[in-house]
Amino acid sequence: MSVIEFHLEVRSGVPTYLQIVQQVRQAIRLGILRPGDQLPTVKDVVRSLTINPNTVLRAYRELDLEGLVEGRRGVGTFVADGAAPLPPDDVKELRSALERWVNRARAAGLDDDGIAALFSDTLRPASIARVA
């Protein structure tokens, strides 16, 4: 029984392997995944998401390169010791900043959809730039 279950957003425009990477990163940040936890096996992910095994391997490789996980031959892939969640204070601070920004956007006249569009538009080039 694995600690984390991946999900796939087919139409998001984000490559599958990247979605897995992001979900692992997020889980580590939020403390859902802790050092020493085993990630789902390639076979399990393939079965539950019906995706190509190479995609999972690529995601795990990427996470390995980032130092977030380490693969142990014949056993599986585990969250690395050094992988630290974001300090809860950092999270708290980021959350308040975000709330303030949202309020400013609302005051400027943006509705929820407008806010979301502005946010993802800004986020996208940033993500692509980061990966490329």
Partner 1 sequence: MSALSAQGLGKRFGSTWALRECTLDVPVGSVTALVGPNGAGKTTLLQLAMGLLRPTTGELRVLGLVPRDDVVAFLPRVAFVAQDHPLHRRFTVRDTLKLGQKLNPSWDDDLARARIEHLGLPLDRKIAKLSGGQQSQVALTLALAKRPELLLLDEPVASLDPLARREFLSTVLEVVSETGISVILSSHILADLERVCDHLVILSHARTLLVGAIDDILAEHRLVTGPRADAASVARGSDVIRERRTERQTSLLVRSNAHVYDARWEQHEVDLEEIVLAYLGADAAPVPERELDGAAA
DSSP 3-state percent helix, strand, coil across the chain (nearest 5): 60, 5, 35
CA distances from 5 to 56, 64, 81 (A): 13, 19, 21
Q: Are 45 and 51 in contact (CB under 8 A)?
A: yes
Binding of partner 1 by 51 (CB under 8 A): yes
Nearer to partner 1 (CB atom), residue 74 or residue 82 = 74
How far is the C-alpha of 27 from the C-alpha of 13, rounded, in Å? 21
Helix (H, G, I), strand (E, B) or coil at 98: helix
Distances (CA, A) of 61 to 64, 66, 72: 5, 9, 12
Closer residue to partner 1 (CB): 27 or 49: 49
Residues 6-25 within binding reach of partner 1 (CB under 8 A):
8, 10, 13, 15-16
Nearer Cβ to partner 1, position 97 or 128? 128
Among 46, 102, 105, 110, contact with partner 1 (rule: CB under 8 A)? 46
Residue 24 Cβ, how far from partner 1 at the closest point, in Å? 18
Residue tagged 């190479």 (tokens) = 54
Name the minimum Å distance from CB 102 to partner 1: 28
Nearer to partner 1, 19 or 28 (CB): 19
Judged by the rule CB under 8 A, the positions of this chain that interact with partner 1 are: 8, 10, 13, 15-16, 42-43, 46-56
